[in-house]
Structure 1
Amino acid sequence: MSYPIKLSPQLKTKSGKDITIGIGTGTQWKRPIDKLEGKNYSEELVNQLLFALDSGFNHIDTAEVYETQPAVGEAIKRTKIPREDLFITSKYNGGFLTFKAQSKSGKESVDKALRELGTDYIDLFLIHSPFFTTELSHGHTLEDIWKDLIEAKKEGKIREIGISNAAIPHLERLFAVSPGKEFYPKVNQIEFHAFLQNQSKDIVKYSQDHNILVEAFSPLSPITRAENKALNPFLKELSTEYKKTEAQILLRYILQRGVLPITTSANKDRIKQSLDLYDFELSDKEVEEIEKIGKENPFRAFFHEAFKNL
């Protein structure tokens, strides 16, 4: 039996296929230049991406700050899957704390991504974080960068635009400078897992109420990052009941919350397992118990200071 998940909105590839959960290429894949054997990408990452695509993924998540766009571009070039059947996400880096923006504008960031990805369009382009200052971003505000992304969308360089790590005030700022609802954020990618059910106050419900798809990064934090393993006994119980791994239980929980996970692994078995989420369904009571344990054991992996008053 198949248990489909309804996401709102349901993003699609250019050819009209529903997108899978995302395969991430985050900071764990950054490699020093001297480790890349004269290339500007990691061959290990390219092979991992090709395996993920062959296994059924069609959604790859990268970012300017990860420095993995060239590896994603190489995977796009080598795969036999048509470009229009893939969904590629990248992100503008505006800087954070003392780290400055890598590009001098949103336009430059988009054009750099197109060049490094070797493609003439990007399916989804996000502002990686709203927590940058004009000193870090070469003089640009959040609104300035959003206007750059709007122009890139109008020009056909980007199919959909969105943001990552946005709280409600950030989304409201983007609404205010958008020339129509078709230019509102389509995605808000946030840290989301059982131990952090709202990265900022009411953000999941607010995003979903405004037809913004919530994507989850670090979805497996309760078993991979958090020192507190309070959820583990219940996950083991569910794992035995459903004959699924604990990671699959957590990913299924996130999907049932109407949130799309972005996950990653260098392990081929785990990559395959990450897509095997649609032949079982957690009961409402089981979802509630996961959330109850999670709320009793809060954990945040990223942006601790940035969200103190949000």
Structure 2
Amino acid sequence: MPWGSIELNDGTMIPDIAYGTWKLGNGDVTIGRVKQALSVGFTHIDTAQIYRNEKEAGEALRASGLAREDVYITTKYSGRADIDTSIRNSCEYTMWTCTSYTAPDLAVPDIPTLWAKMEQIKANELAKYESSHESIQTLTQSLTYCRSIGVSNFNVQELTTLLTSAKVKPVVNQILFHPYVLRRQAPIVAFGAQHGIVTEAYSVLIPITRQTGGPLDKPLKEIADRLGAQPEQVLLAWAKKKGVVSVTSSTRKERMEGYLKAGDLELTAEDIAAIDTAGLSRH
């Protein structure tokens, strides 16, 4: 089954693969890369304040000529400035550079903004973090173009604590997710599914981009050879089977096209088990 969309707990739909702008930098080159991703068929762009390329993502979307309803944008609050001002600027800045993700008048507003992109959430910071959640919830009620909010890098305990006080349930939790961290991260995915919180997975391809030579190499190659695919496509198809939204990236058009074709791969239960087992075997 090709890539599609997943329904969120607020009734909106999120495409289940995204082109991420982390490490792309900024400027005209980044605009070109995002525009290329849109041209090959990506319909979900993941950016963030801390990436410093929200403007470029918006410019690329404007230049693409795509209709507003054809593109879904995720951005993240960095926590580096006053929260109300930061979130408002993030939404307005990105929207201003698009023509209604396409138009400056926001005629068909539907831009999801995920709050608080932080690498680590420490226990003694959680109370302050929840206060931020309250502030963003209030803000999004007045910004009709910011429809959904979520969290990033929350573990089960932090999600549990948040759900006891949040007036608005986060729609997603964006986390590190690939087979080598399955033991640690699978419980987060399962908890999210139990509570209607979709997992967005970043760095799915780490086992073949930065951690080669491990136990995953053999099963990925065997499955890829059998299916006439590439190992990175098999990993993305694995993530799709796990029910997560994959956030991936490349500067090469042929790789982008390959990522999209990964949605057509049909992995068997045995394939999934082999990948899981190999991932769990690495300590």
Whether the aligned pair in 2 keeps the contact of 1:25 and 1:62 (CA below 8 Å) is yes
Match of 1:176 in 2: 164
**Alignment identity in percent?**
27
1:285, distance to aligned residue in structure 2 (A)? 0.9
Whether 1:244 and 2:229 are equivalent positions in the alignment is: yes
Match of 1:34 in 2: none
CA RMSD of aligned residues (A): 2.7
1:45, distance to aligned residue in structure 2 (A)? 1.2
74-83 or 246-255, larger mean C-alpha shift: 74-83
Cα–Cα, structure 1 residues 70 and 128, in superposed 2: closer, same or farther, change >3 Å?
same
200-209 or 231-240, larger mean C-alpha shift: 200-209
Match of 1:111 among 88, 102, 115: 88
Match of 1:280 in 2: 265
Match of 2:103 in 1: none
Larger helix percent: 2
Q: Which amino acid aligns with 2:88?
A: D
For residues 258-269 of structure 1, the aligned pairs below 5 Å read 258-269=243-254
**Whole-angstrom CA distance in 2 between matches of 1:85 and 1:188:** 23
**Whole-angstrom CA distance in 1 between matches of 2:60 and 2:95:** 10
Match of 1:85 in 2: 70
Whether 1:124 and 2:113 are equivalent positions in the alignment is: yes
Stretches of structure 2 lacking an aligned partner (at least 5 in a row): 97-105
Secondary structure of the corresponding residue to residue 174 of structure 2: strand
1:3, distance to aligned residue in structure 2 (A)? 6.0
The CA deviation string for residues 172-201 of structure 1, in whole angstroms up to 9 with x for no partner, is 23222322xxx1010011000011115457
Whether 1:22 and 2:18 are equivalent positions in the alignment is: yes
Aligned residues: 270
For residues 5-20 of structure 1, the aligned pairs below 5 Å read 7=6, 9=8, 19-20=15-16
Q: Which amino acid aligns with 1:142?
A: Y
Match of 1:208 in 2: 193
117-126 or 75-84, larger mean C-alpha shift: 117-126
Match of 1:233 among 214, 218, 227: 218
Whether the aligned pair in 2 keeps the contact of 1:193 and 1:218 (CA below 8 Å) is yes
Q: Which amino acid aligns with 1:29?
A: L
**Whole-angstrom CA distance in 1 between matches of 2:182 and 2:10:** 22
Q: Which amino acid aligns with 1:177?
A: S
Match of 2:101 in 1: none
Match of 1:146 in 2: 133
Provide TM-score, normalisation by structure 1. 0.79
Match of 1:65 in 2: 50
Q: Which amino acid aligns with 1:173?
A: T
Stretches of structure 1 lacking an aligned partner (at least 5 in a row): 31-40, 95-100, 299-310
Provide TM-score, normalisation by structure 2. 0.86
Secondary structure of the corresponding residue to residue 90 of structure 1: strand
1:86, distance to aligned residue in structure 2 (A)? 1.2
Whether the aligned pair in 2 keeps the contact of 1:42 and 1:71 (CA below 8 Å) is yes
